Structure 1
């Protein structure tokens, strides 16, 4: 082969499409056909957003009286929603990816056992494959905490959650990061009666470093408004599956718990591949060390996505994969501009960000200004029940350095408009001079 891609997730699929521009001799390797599309499609961002859409619709119905619409006792069913995600979204998307790549000549091999025999040879189950180049894009798996891992019965993680049979009435969510705040909101709307969100750090969303503290506080207030009990600077001391008790380091004992959900981050899938045996360098945490070309310490092996120490986002992995493939076949040194990478958290609010935040700019001693506007400054937002704000951080001359956006439903569109403005060199002043259509949500940018 010219290129063997290990992992058919977001990065692997992107790499395969890009590689077809240079060669037809491409092979994708993964655990099984059910993992095509990776964690994001099958266990992560796609199904959680499907459930979040249901949660949002339920909240939207509460506002529907202003339209003269009065539905009778709407409710959500978790099992039906999960099944809907699997059959209506995940399966057709996965099958579409597979059929498309196969139609273009990409080959596939599936096995639970994949390891390097030498830098040019890979064992895939009972078969061996040789290739000029390899791209490792095997993604990540849920981390455990304090020796506690998911059992799929009482303790779940972000991968095993999708086999849950019904909404647990009393839930403990361990980890107040992105997945934690998303699952807390989802379960609150799908019928959970008591939710405890446990975060060991000083604030929710501790890994989203470019978010302003007022944005995070507003999310915390909204979660508490849904009767979610947020425990900050607290950890789990013990989980007793037999008595269904969870003891916290604060001394509080949570009883009659129906489910514990671990959302404490992810670890790279690198240890079973035989990488160190063939000379590929790993960090202490198991990430693959790469240079500016995404090339490992073995010159014909490259790595992208969650297996390297860059933002663990599907869209980051996809773009890294495209650049790595170009570097392989063009002998170039293309690298992603990580300061322009957007991210969105989908909880009570959609919280989006890119670039540098207030804390980072202050730490770096950068002179900046903040332009802030609320969505309720425009009539269409009020009509839709929208709320939230936009904060744009920029130089005194108006060049955009970063942004934070908090809204119910329009974060993604505003986020990408601001990102395009940054990429195109438009200043905040120039954004204000654009003739925005009225009435729209986007015209809020005229008021920055």
Structure 2
């Protein structure tokens, strides 16, 4: 049995905490897969690198709108995918080499599972056993443990799914030939981003989503606009749940029925649909890896979805065991995990405990159109009975937006005193434009004046934000000025 001061399960954002343990502690890292976690290997980094290639191609194809003749004569798709994955692999290998050469860190490669204490008492367990890996059979005991083991693609209970050769986002990011017809089950950000990628490179794309709109967690007005834009590009069946899949002669068929949603059990479309393509992508959310860790042996409680339960300091229900990242289920975003890692490091190695602050946590979807948001949606405020006012401003009302032929808008939401409650954007560079609002909400007074009174470069695209928060807001059908 090996003993260390601090043990981290997972090599994503948990590594930030492991590297912060620089006060002479011995540190162990347990990782069952490639080093660097989901973001580096199967998420943000490879997907956004690939998506930028799609953005470049889309820009060239739009050149005619600007009286520029341009023609794409060849696309080395396999080279694009191969180079991106090689780049990711090199970064992961560099992390492995760094940990292997560190005098402070010990890397255990394999799946880590908690071992119950004597007599099955979880309070006595701080031991993790390594299984199914290079270090299988090793046992490590630590006084302090951080669970940062992430999530994996969720596979819904669709009839026939186990008999079909389907893709998840992991395999889709490694395809070196775009499918002729890609069928996507799921309507969230993974479906949107990979639909954009493969659709831009020539695949026919059909998306089957349960909710009335794609991107159902986005503000309703933005989600509706996004769905309309995607329906112009692809075949979109919202309000349908995939119920059965089958495969024959290289083709995959998906059967979907109208999905009842909401308290009234309403449906979008009464008609069932059947879709056939040569590839199936299942993008139906994420499942926490707690079921692989035997967390109950350590006394770590999970919620009804399987995510680790933590307090405001990111401590679990087991003394000495902390958790962060996707596995806690607060926000399944890399920047949220990094933010949580900073909080855990402060609480573990600092003098006083301080709660993790999720104020103004933004998100972005790198599709076409791009979507970003922060704070409350109008639907959430309406449900909560909160008084608010909104203002919507179109990109093309600015000089830069007009020059770009930009199709999109910003939706600002404030309370009746002018405090920013939320902001939601659909259009070019939404992921960058939202950041000004994040800073205003987090570091400023959090009011419309923070944005209005800041000088904005003219004629930059940031004027969409400035003007979106200027002028008259609408409250309950009445104009409301600040």
1:155 aligns with 2:154: no
Question: 1:273 matched to which residue of 2?
Answer: 293
In structure 1, runs of 5+ residues without a counterpart are none
Q: Which residue of 2 aligns with 1:218?
A: 225
Distance 2:374 2:321 in 1: 30
Match of 1:307 in 2: 327
Equivalence for 2:107 = 109
Alignment of 1:135-214 (within 5 A): 135-147=146-158, 154-193=165-204, 195-206=205-216, 208=217, 211-214=218-221
Report if the CA contact (8 A) 1:432-1:445 is conserved. Answer: no
Inter-partner Cα distance in structure 1 for 2:159 and 2:176? 22
Cα drift, residue 391 of structure 1: 1.3
Distance 1:390 1:103 in 2: 49
Q: Deviations over 1:10-59 (max 9, x none)?
A: x2122223333x44422221014xx2221111111222212221221122
Preserved contact between residue 344 and residue 351 of structure 1 (Cα < 8 Å): yes
Contact 2:30 2:111 in 1 (8 A): no
Indicate the RMSD between aligned Cα atoms, in angstroms: 2.4
TM-score, normalization by structure 2: 0.84
Work out the CA distance in 2 between the residues paired with 1:299 and 1:96: 33
Per-residue Cα deviation, 1:259-309 (whole angstroms, up to 9, x for no partner): 110000111111222221232222333222222221122101111112213
Equivalent of 1:418 in 437, 447, 455: 437
Paired position in structure 2 for 1:45:
44
The residue number in structure 1 matching 2:374 is 354
Alignment partners' CA distance in 2, 1:151 and 1:110: 32
Q: Does 1:234 align with 2:236?
A: no
| Structure 1 residue 114 displacement after superposition | 1.7
Structure 2 gap segments, 5+ residues each:
118-124, 131-135, 258-270, 469-482
- Cα distance between partner residues in 1 of 2:60 and 2:104: 46
In the aligned structure 2, how far is the partner of 1:47 from the partner of 1:29?
Answer: 23
- Per the alignment, residue 36 of structure 1 pairs with 35
Native 8 Å contact 1:2 1:23 kept in 2: no
Q: How many pairs are equivalent?
A: 436
CA–CA distance in 1 between the matches of 2:339 and 2:306?
A: 22
1:285 is aligned to 2:305: yes
Q: How far, CA to CA, are the matches of 2:422 and 2:371 in structure 1? A: 14
Q: In the alignment, does 2:16 pair up with 1:18?
A: no
Give the direction of change, closer, same or farther, for the CA distance of 1:75–1:149 in structure 2 (3 Å limit).
farther
State how 1:89-128 maps to structure 2 within 5 Å.
90-98=88-96, 105-117=103-115, 118=117, 119-124=125-130, 125-128=136-139
Could you tell me how far apart the structure 2 residues matched to 1:148 and 1:46 are?
Answer: 33
Give distance in 1, aligned partners of 2:329 and 2:403: 43
Alpha-carbon shift at residue 234 of structure 1 (Å): 0.9
How far apart are the structure 2 equivalents of 1:331 and 1:284? 34
Aligned residue for 1:159, secondary structure, equals helix
Measured after TM superposition, the shift of residue 230 of structure 1 is: 0.8
Q: Which residue of 1 aligns with 2:477?
A: none
Report the CA distance shift for 1:234/1:154 in structure 2 as closer, same or farther (over 3 A): same
Deviation at 1:132, TM superposition (A): 1.7
Q: CA deviation at 1:431?
A: 1.8
Deviation at 1:215, TM superposition (A): 1.1
CA distance in 2, matches of 1:112, 1:274: 14
- Cα distance, 1:105 vs structure 2: 4.7
Check conservation: 1:28, 1:106, Cα contact below 8 A: no
User: Is it true that 1:386 corresponds to 2:406 in the alignment?
Assistant: yes
